[in-house]
Structure 1
């Protein structure tokens, strides 16, 4: 059963938050603010925060910039995961993934089903890894951001979480890029 191992020290990770929206400003960004508040409350570091329009190339470029930045361990985006023509965040994430974390979307759907029922099928939340950086794309609602953080990310981004967590394997995410 999942638990926290109190014999281990908490290790803060450096997280960048990206809000994808054609209409929001920083002062109106409730979903991004939910993520910022929660990650900082958990003891992590806000490494950067931006808002970009629903433009696949711009989103992918920003993700690549953050992946290349050794001061960023995790990127969480919010918005643009739906089914409309302007929803391109998932495609932008997949443009940069080396590996997709398939179960992230599945677990997010399970969590969402408990809150919003079958409407959960309209989300395309996704997670992946590139260049030693974790990337997660969440829906643009504050509730979805709360659910993803409170039910999944707060645990997986805590080094003390057992039986396993994302933080403990950060040093090995890019081992395929190093010389043998």
Structure 2
């Protein structure tokens, strides 16, 4: 449901896109392209984009690097969220999270159910926060990336969305790390 308060000013966030794949390069990365297009069309800034192999330690290292980078507010990864042995993106994300956004996966499943029925149970989409940075792991299909952006992230990353959104609480995500 679109609840945009037009009286508020839009605040762009800086988004890094990570594609997890053993086989794709930039020229074949349709899901990454889809996310980049949607991020930029919404008025946000592409902070960085990378493709990395399905290796848990490498994925986690890249997530941590972006969490340490003040030029990155949000990381969206695509790929590696399924059930096969090489699907380790969710585990890598959880290695990095300070807090998991449990409802993200639930809402993503609800959105997916409307599109692909019970096949939605095979996705392990997840979201979390680390070092004041939002992290989201999406499936590798372009449809899943469209659904996650169009139905969830587009609104939660818009400061004008009511009754609440991720952007308005960004300044407080790392308050536990500040000196009292």
Contact 2:32–2:78 (CA under 8 A) maintained in structure 1? yes
Are the equivalent residues in 1 in contact too, given 2:2–2:155 (CA < 8 A)?
no
Contact kept? 2:64, 2:96, Cα under 8 Å: yes
Q: Tell me the CA shift for residue 2 of structure 1.
A: 5.4
User: Match of 1:154?
Assistant: 154
The answer on 1:70 being equivalent to 2:70 is yes
TM-score by length of 1: 0.99
Which ranges of 4 or more aligned residues in structure 1 deviate by more than 3 Å? Answer: none
Q: Which residue matches 1:15?
A: 15
Partner deviation per Cα, 1:49-71 (whole Å, 9 max, x = no partner): 00000000000000000000011
SS of structure 2 residue aligned to 1:164: coil
**Structure 1 position 100, deviation (Å):** 0.1
Other-structure match for 1:99: 99
Unaligned regions of 5+ residues in structure 1, if any? none
For 1:70 and 1:24, how far apart are their aligned partners in 2?
A: 28
Distance, in Å, in 2 between the alignment partners of 1:104 and 1:2 is 17
By how many angstroms is 1:22 displaced? Answer: 0.2
Note the 1:83-98 alignment, pairs <5 A. Answer: 83-98=83-98
Name the SS for the 2:16 alignment partner.
Answer: strand
Query: 1:12 deviation in Å?
Result: 0.2
Structure 2 residue matching 1:161: 3-state secondary structure: coil
For 1:3 and 1:95, how far apart are their aligned partners in 2? 34
Once the two structures are superposed, residues 22-79 of structure 1 have per-residue CA deviations (whole angstroms, 9 ceiling, x without a partner) of 0000010000000000000000000000000000000000000000001100000000
Q: Distance in 1 between matches of 2:136 and 2:27?
A: 22
Structure 1 counterpart of 2:145: 145
Q: TM-score, normalization: structure 2?
A: 0.99
- How many matched pairs? 180
Structure 1 vs Structure 2 CA RMSD: 0.7
Contact 1:2–1:163 (8 Å) recurs in 2? no
CA distance in 1, matches of 2:2, 2:162: 5
Contact 2:101/2:126 (8 A) holds in 1? yes
Q: Deviations over 1:95-139 (max 9, x none)?
A: 000000000000000000000000000000000000000000000
